[in-house]
Amino acid sequence: QVQLVESGGGLVQPGGSLRLSCVMSGFTLDPYEIGWFRQSPGQERQGISCISTSDDRKQYVDSVKGRFTISRDSAKKTMYLQMTMLKPEDTAVYYCADNCLRTLVDNWGQGTQVTVSS
């Protein structure tokens, strides 16, 4: 049974940092790409960062580029999202997924809340 379990969310002040983790288990074959999405109230779930499992090629949306860093530890079957210089507009529920295109995701994590507020 495939499971994706996120952790690391919380409340942080503007300018602060958080690191999200996503432990992935149960895959028969490793996904080609894995990624992070986020969803704010009333908005669609948006992909924000993606990493290839074959060559660690990384992609970011413009709104997080230069502030967020995606990485993975294949031995631990864990993906990370290091978030720095957080802004109030980064407030959302963050999800990890087994694809970088929302329409192709087969498995989602349960989500972890990130709140950026003073």
Report pLDDT digits (tens) over 1-17: 999 999 999 999 999 99
Q: Which two structure tokens, joined as six digits, stand for 103?
A: 């329409």
- The 10s digit of each residue's pLDDT in 51-67 is 999 999 999 999 999 99
pLDDT of res. 83: 98
Q: Which two structure tokens, joined as six digits, stand for 23?
A: 């432990």
Instruction: Average the pLDDT over 34-62 and give the result.
Output: 95
Per-residue pLDDT band for 103 (boundaries 50, 70, 90) equals very high
Q: How is 8-70 classified by DSSP, letter by letter?
A: --EEE-TT--EEEEEEEE--SS--SEEEEEEE-TTS--EEEEEEETTT--EEE-TTTTTTEEE
For the chain, give the percent of residues with pLDDT over 70.
100
